[in-house]
Amino acid sequence: MIPFLTQSMIALGVGFLLDLVFGDPYFMPHPIRLIGKAIEVGEKITRSCFNETPQGQMAAGTVLALCMMILSFGIPFGILWICTQVNALLSLAVQSFMCYQILAIKSLKTESTKVYAKLADNDLKGARYQVSMIVGRDTENLSMQQVAKATVETIAENTSDGTVAPLIFLAVGGAPLGFLYKSINTMDSMIGYKNDRYLYFGRFAAKLDDVANYIPARVSALIMILASLVLGMDYKNAFHIFLRDRYNHASPNSAQTEAVCAGALQIQLAGDAYYFGKLYKKKSIGDAIRPIEYEDIARANRLLYGTAWISTVLCLLGMGVIQWLI
């Protein structure tokens, strides 16, 4: 029998390395896509069970979110429990694979690099298409510079959502808690919009995501500042912009890492953007010490990987200390 904490430590380390090497191959069925499908089906079911009033839609969205949380935690927990009854090494292997699928480090770099390649070839149409795959805003009228900015913002925000936050949840509660976090994050990305369709239905999911990411977003920002120091970037400006602009966003969490990234790269992020054909006025993040360029995508990815490595080491050290103490 392998102690739970020991198994979780090994699984986290193995899963991290697997993600860096393999990413998310398109041919491989992915549990996050299954979660997304479940949310789509669940939305249809819960909407049909409640009336169309704001209160009814809020109730429907709350029921959906609670059901998804229970399923996303309970199913992997049950699978791991069954594996443990069969063989401890089987349980370790399955949890390692789960951790691998929860993390999204290489896939973020891979998808953002596709935008980089199109910009490097001066293919604006292709760059707009590639960036539309990773951002929620309208992209058909973006300039080369705006495409680069949108891509850097996505890398910066997802350094927390796709890397540090999942690592923290994995360190605290293993793969089941990691999948619970990913279900919350996926719900926010699918139904957490403030538009006519989801203003009430997605409100609980959006607030839930704010709560789940409150601590991880701030931890991510601090680790990213450390990574900028290690990588020889402008860590002093990163810390300055973090303190000044970390709340320049409608979300209490999204600007935390965006502010650090903007400061480290000496560029300005955020600002007004179109979503579903409607212009949203947004504060800027950082100072335009220099114009943003497509090479900033590569720089942001370096910052992503530096933050990921430091976060993983810190999580494993923390888990090791806790195991030693108990």
pLDDT per residue over 190-210, tens digit each? 998 888 888 999 999 999 999
Query: 142 vs 57, which has greater pLDDT?
Result: 57
pLDDT number for residue 26: 77
Mapped to the 3 state alphabet, what secondary structure does the chain carry? CCCHHHHHHHHHHHHHHHHHHHCCCCCCCCHHHHHHHHHHHHHHHHHHHCCCCHHHHHHHHHHHHHHHHHHHHHHHHHHHHHHHHHCHHHHHHHHHHHHHHHCCHHHHHHHHHHHHHHHHCCCHHHHHHHHHCCCCCCCCCCCHHHHHHHHHHHHHHHHHHHHHHHHHHHHHHHHHHHHHHHHHHHHHHHHCCCCCCCCCCCHHHHHHHHHHHHHHHHHHHHHHHHHHHHCCCCHHHHHHHHHHHCCCCCCCCHHHHHHHHHHHHCCCEECCEEECCEEECCCEECCCCCCCCCHHHHHHHHHHHHHHHHHHHHHHHHHHHHHHHC
| pLDDT for position 4 | 78
Name which residue leads in pLDDT, 5 or 230: 230
Residue 122 forms beta bridges with which residues? none
Q: Give me the percent of the chain exceeding a pLDDT of 90.
A: 80
Confidence at residue 160, expressed as pLDDT on a 0 to 100 scale: 94
- pTM to 2 decimals? 0.93
Q: What is the pLDDT of residue 202?
A: 92
CA angle 150, 151, 155 (to 5 degrees): 120
pLDDT tens digits, 77-134? 999 999 999 999 999 999 999 999 999 999 999 999 999 999 999 999 999 999 998 8
pLDDT of residue 212: 96
Q: What is the pLDDT of residue 5?
A: 81
pLDDT at 276: 63
Asked whether residue 183 carries a pLDDT value surpassing 70, the answer given is yes
What pLDDT is attached to residue 272? 65
Instruction: Give the count of beta carbons closer than 10 Å to the beta carbon of residue 138.
Output: 16
User: Which pLDDT tens digit goes with each residue over 254-310?
Assistant: 899 999 999 999 999 987 666 666 766 788 999 999 999 999 999 999 999 999 999
Confidence of residue 71 (pLDDT cuts 50, 70, 90): very high
What six digits make up the tokens of 279?
Answer: 């212009």
Q: What is the pLDDT of residue 274?
A: 64
